[in-house]
Amino acid sequence: MTRADRSRATAYLSLAALTAVVLLPLRQNARPAAERRDGFPLSYFPMFSARRSSTGTVVHLVGRDAEGRESVLHHRHAGTGGLNQVRRQIRRRVRDGGAQLLAEAVAASVAASTSAAERALSEVAVVTSVCDYDRFFAGDTTPLRRRTHATAPVPTRAGAR
């Protein structure tokens, strides 16, 4: 066997092995749904096929104006980084008993905001909301349940309001 033949055989074997690994999860289709199993790295992609809860729970920040109207505050008031990173930080601080300190820090951040809508807020709250996914994505963002962990007044600036 020449060197070129060995190289070609190695390439064909590698291609066959790679094809087998990619197609291996398809054998799950032959099993009854209850017997299908997922496993890394040969995933059956349960993120697309698994049953999901119809509700979701999120810890977040809410601002209220003097009339009681609410708006969801931007995550930048609670920390730096991306949304998911800050969201986890908020949840951890609430879990560890730091909701009041978080509310006060967010209130100070809102007071320093250049946004007219945020400057009109009189109070911030750290809350946990449970929402129905179908209703939420249809436009009804009213939570099914809400728990307020802490509130803090937004400090007024001298000469403001």
Both 76 and 125 in one domain: the answer is: yes
pLDDT of residue 45: 64
Domain count, the chain: 2
pLDDT at 23: 82
Query: Do 69 and 7 fall within a single domain?
Result: no
What range defines the domain where residue 17 resides? 1-46
Same-domain status, 12 and 78: no
Instruction: Verify that 107 and 30 share a domain, yes or no.
Output: no
Which among 136, 152, 153 is positioned nearest to 144, based on CA atoms?
Answer: 136
Q: Is 18 exposed, middle or buried (0-12, 13-18, 19+ CB in 10 A)?
A: exposed
Q: Do 125 and 148 share a structural domain?
A: yes
Amino acid at 15: L
Do 100 and 147 share a domain, yes or no? Answer: yes
For residues 14 and 89, membership in a common domain is answered with no
Domain shared by 80 and 139, yes or no = yes
Establish if 161 belongs to a structural domain: no
22 and 66 in a single domain? The answer is no
Q: What is the mean pLDDT of each run of 10 residues along the chain (161 residues)?
A: 92 94 77 73 63 91 95 94 93 97 97 92 97 94 96 78 47
30 secondary structure, DSSP code: G
Provide the 10 A C-beta neighbour count for residue 127. Answer: 22
**One-letter amino acid for residue 40 of the chain:** F
**Separation CA 135–CA 133 (nearest Å):** 6
Both 37 and 86 in a single domain? no
If asked whether residues 23 and 91 sit together in one domain, one would say no
Say if residues 12 and 4 touch (Cβ distance below 8 Å).
no
| pLDDT at position 21 | 81
Evaluate whether residue 158 is within a structural domain.
no
